[in-house]
Amino acid sequence: AFDALARQYSVAPSKAAGGELPWISFKAPLTEGNTQGLPLPVAQAITKLPAGGVTPAAIPAGQGNNVLRVIVKLDAKRPTKVPTFDEAKDTIRQQLQAFALEKAAAQFAGDLVKGATIQQ
């Protein structure tokens, strides 16, 4: 089974979970840096696989001396679900509050530094 082989041979952090990764979505077209942290060749292979498919050959991923070979099995595909505003509003509120707090703290610290007198 794929997961047993991943547990035995993988060097990835997901080795203990049989190589399983969480659900991911990619923006189209795929570009470096917009692949949910996966190497671009791996993301490209995932988008081409059918559900249940396995890459026919190992995919080189990485650069220089850090080139790894990756074999991917795609268990399932599903359409990207964009949450409604009502589903996302609490998360948005929390993120905005955290951002406002961070901005206020930076402003406060900046004001303190501007008005500080340093003595030896």
Helices marked H in the chain: 2-9, 40-48, 85-114
Q: Is 25 helix (H, G, I), strand (E, B) or coil?
A: coil
At position 6, the amino acid (one-letter code) is: A
At position 26, the amino acid (one-letter code) is: F
pTM (two decimals): 0.62
> Which residues 6+ apart lie within 8 Å of 2 measured at CB?
18, 19, 54, 73
82: phi then psi, degrees, rounded to nearest 5: -90, 120
User: Considering the chain, what percentage of its residues have pLDDT values greater than 70?
Assistant: 100
Domain definitions of the chain by residue range: 2-70, 82-120
- Count the Cβ atoms, other than its own, within 10 Å of residue 43: 22
For the stretch 6-40, pLDDT in tens is 899 888 888 899 988 888 888 878 888 888 888 89
For the stretch 35-61, pLDDT in tens is 888 889 999 999 999 999 999 999 988
